[in-house]
Amino acid sequence: MRAYDCRMDEAKEQDLINYKTFTQFFNRELKDGVRPISAGLLVSPADGTVLHYGKVEQGKVEFVKGNDYDVSTSTTIV
C-alpha cells in the first residue's frame, strides 16, 4: 500500500487482510462517488500513470486488468 501510494480511505474494503492476492488489492472496489468519470471524450479505465500505449485494433484497446475495452461503446469486453 505504501510502496504504491494507494489511498485506502477511498476503498470500500480498507482492511488489507481481506485482499487474498495482489490482483484483488489492485482491483479493489472504491466507495461510490470517490472518483467520478470525466465527461471528456476519452477517459481511461485506470487512475494511474500511462506506462504503455498502442494502436486501437478492431475497435479495441489492449488487455487491461483482465479485460479488453471497446473504444466505440466504452464497454468492457469480457
Measured CA distances, 46 to 17, 28 (Å): 23, 12
Res. 1 pLDDT band, cuts 50 70 90: confident
45 vs 41, more confident? 41
- State whether 5 and 31 are in the same domain: yes
Question: How many residues are listed for the chain in this entry?
Answer: 78
Same domain, 44 and 31: no
Residues 64 and 42 in one domain: yes
Domain range spanning residue 6?
1-36
How far, in Å, CA of 36 to CA of 40, rounded? 12
Q: How far apart are CA 18 and CA 41, in angstroms?
A: 36
- Note the pLDDT of residue 6: 86
Do 44 and 74 lie in a common domain?
yes
Task: Identify whether residues 56 and 20 lie together within a single domain.
Answer: no
User: Same structural domain for residues 29 and 4?
Assistant: yes
Together in a domain, 28 and 42:
no
Whole-structure pTM value: 0.50
